[in-house]
Amino acid sequence: MQKYIALLILVIPGIIAGLGIKWMRDAVFGELVPQLQFIWLQFFLGFIFFVFGVIFIGGYILHREKKNKRAQEHFMKKNNTKKTDKS
């Protein structure tokens, strides 16, 4: 059941990102979505949807890789180190 929920969590942002790509493409070619009134608004919302979907999926994958200790060392560093001033 957990795998189905995880798949659903990834599919929904993927669909949103795909919708964003479609809206941006339609705006470039001048086809307006009936719910929106301006082409520039359609392109802007498409861009926002696309960026949201990609960031969400990328963050989810990075979180899983860090949890399984398969991410690069750059992403595995802890921010708990304190710098001491030696002056």
Tens digit of pLDDT for each residue in 18-76? Answer: 999 999 999 999 999 999 999 999 999 999 999 999 999 999 888 888 888 787 787 77
59 falls within a domain: yes
Closest-CA residue to 19 (of 46, 39, 37): 46
The pLDDT value recorded for residue 77 is 73
80 falls within a domain: no
The pLDDT value recorded for residue 69 is 79
Q: State which residues form the domain around 14.
A: 2-72
84 falls within a domain: no
The pLDDT value recorded for residue 81 is 56
- Any idea what the Cα angle at residue 69 is, between residues 50 and 56, rounded to 5°? 15
